[in-house]
Amino acid sequence: MKAVRELAITVRVNGERHELTVAPSELLIDCLRDRLGLLGVKKSCDVQVCGACTVLLDGRPVSACTVPAFETRGRTLRTIEGLADGEALHPVQEAFVEHGALQCGFCTPGMIMATVALLAENPSPTADEVKHYMRGNICRCTGYQRILEAILDAGRRLAAAPR
């Protein structure tokens, strides 16, 4: 068997099918930001600790900063750009806005994507469950209280109007 230096992959990103040729060492975050222009994926700590680059791979949260792009082959990827329906925000986005759950906003795309994954897995989490799940998403501004309130409220919104 031979080693490959590039891979032809097909991936659905926010509902759109992409055919890409990637090197094995190409990181997902660079592919998303530089090639697909999805700048909502933020590079911050770059070591999987802060959560700013959280995207959903087949619905599960991963750090785009450290996952190679080829791992998305044949799979479905969702970023913050894929949540709103035109001008209509996703219920999790609405909850973050209405609760003022952001200040500088740099962690917000990752926070929201992690919340979407959490609520898909556990539609009505307790406050402790939210804190445990979100432990790896770091915010330097808010002190977390409003984020916690927004996430709990987002769970209620999604229960009322699932999507």
Partner 1 sequence: MNSFALYEPTSVAEASEILARHGDTARLYAGGTELLLAMKEGLIRYDYLVNVKTIPGLTGLRLDADGALRIGAATPHRALEREPAVRERFPLVARVESDVANVRVREVGTLGGNLCFAEPHSDPATLLQIFDARVRCETARGSREIALGELFVGSFETCLGEDELLTEIVVPPLPARSAAAYRKFGVLERPSVGVAVAVALDDGHVADARIAVGCVGPIPQRMPAAEALLRGRGVDEASANLGEAGRRAARAAEAVSDLHGAADYKEHLVGVLLRRAFDEALATLGAGPRR
**Using the rule CB under 8 A, is 67 a contact of partner 1?**
yes
**Which among 62, 70, 65, 72 is positioned nearest to 117, based on CA atoms?**
62
Kind of pairing between the strands at 54-57 and 60-63: antiparallel
Q: What is the dihedral of CA 123, 128, 130, 136, to 10 degrees?
A: -150
Decide whether 61 or 91 has the Cβ nearer to partner 1: 61
- Using an 8 Å Cβ cutoff, are 49 and 64 in contact? no
> Of 8, 10, 16, 24, which one interacts with partner 1 (CB under 8 A)?
24
CB of 45 to partner 1, least distance (A): 10
Does residue 73 bind partner 1 (CB under 8 A)?
no
Residues near partner 1, by CB under 8 A = 1, 3-5, 7, 23-25, 27, 46-49, 51, 54, 57, 60-63, 66-68, 70, 114, 117, 132-133, 135-137
